[in-house]
Amino acid sequence: MRGALGKYVISIALGGVLVWLAFRGQDWDDFYQRLQTVRTGPILAYLGLFAAAHLLRIIRWGVLVRALGDIGWKDIMSAGAVGYMCIMVFPLRLGELVRPYLVRGVGGITASGALATVVVERVIDGLLFVALFFVFISLLPDSPDPAVAAVKMSAFAAGGVFITALVVLVAAYYKRDATVAFVEKVGHRLHAGITDKLVGLLDAFLEGLRVLPDKRRLGVFFVLTVIYWAALGVGMKVMAEGTHIPDLDWVGGFALLTVLTVGIMIPAGPGFTGTFELAMKGGFALLILAPSSMANITLYTVMLHISQLVIQVSFGAVFLLSGQIRLSDLGAAGGLTSQETGREPGT
């Protein structure tokens, strides 16, 4: 309990600082007045579009998971919906551990193997959006905002991280025996017991990477990825209509999405508090908009954040209320209790 409380305190404090950086100088009386002018129709359209995209996101992950064992779509939907909800409500992105935990033991799937699918999903999304960032930035007019340089530098750093991760994953898969043997040899010099356990987890994790060379499965995954992110990009434009930013064009909307997606991968407060707002501020720094539109940036950011939070929490709540997932499982799954989360069933 103390460990969980400490993680929440740290994450909330971090998120609070980032929110302050994103919104400092904001006239909240003016924001309240602008909030009264939000157009209901586009907001409802955005909620429907994001809900459809979120459902597709769960199916997309399921395509990878089904490479690991005989698991039905009912189990995938429940684990995916609750798992993505936990990414939002747990601190420091600890919710990433929930999906692997909830499908472990189903159809012979190991937690480490399922974790590998999450890593593959994150690496592919990261590489895709860093690449798209530089495509869209080349299509936008030059912005004089000094924050643009920091945004570009962050994109370069993120690209380096994701490229390195992809190289390591592919190399570890194709040189699996050598990787495990190396870890075992080095680890036994330090602590044999811990090393044996680590090697077992590593071996299971690498087994999960067997989805990588499956061209058909990866093809389906990439098609769903294109549809999923295209829907979210359209949603950015729809939200602009609802918050009175009519001059946000399609290129600008997708540019915002790329910055936001990479930005919220950084661990921070529950609900992406802080990283979401700061990423949106950085994204808008890339754009040249009319003064009347710039005045609605905070409104756009808040409505977008709340809409995404509502949909993702609602999806997870449906499966929690149905009893398919037990609340008692979630703390351990997210590393918020002292229960081990890395062990496989039966060990």
- Phi, then psi, of 273 in degrees rounded to 5: -60, 125
Distance CA 49, CA 231 (A): 7
Domain layout of the chain by residue ranges: 2-23+55-333
Q: Around 224, how many Cα atoms within 13 Å sit in the side-chain half-sphere?
A: 21
Please spell the DSSP secondary structure of 78-103, one letter per residue.
HHHHHHHHHHHHSGGGGGGGHHHHHH
Q: Residue 34 contacts by C-beta under 8 Å, 6 or more apart in sequence? A: 244, 295, 296, 299
Sequential pLDDT tens for the chain (347 residues): 566 778 888 888 989 999 999 999 999 999 999 999 999 999 999 999 999 999 999 999 999 999 888 999 999 999 999 999 999 999 888 889 899 999 999 998 888 888 889 988 999 999 999 999 999 989 999 999 989 999 999 999 999 999 988 887 888 788 888 888 888 888 888 888 888 877 777 777 777 776 666 888 889 999 999 999 999 999 999 999 999 999 999 999 999 999 999 999 988 889 999 999 999 999 999 999 999 999 999 999 999 999 999 999 999 999 888 877 876 667 666 666 544 444 444 33
CA 73 to chain CA centroid, nearest Å: 21
Q: Residue 241 contacts by C-beta under 8 Å, 6 or more apart in sequence? A: 39, 42
SS3 state of residue 144: coil
The answer to whether the CB of 133 falls within 8 A of the CB of 267 is no
pLDDT at 212: 60
- Give 323: exposed, middle or buried? Use CB within 10 Å, 0-12, 13-18, 19+: exposed
Total-model pTM: 0.89
Locate the DSSP E strands across the chain. Answer: none
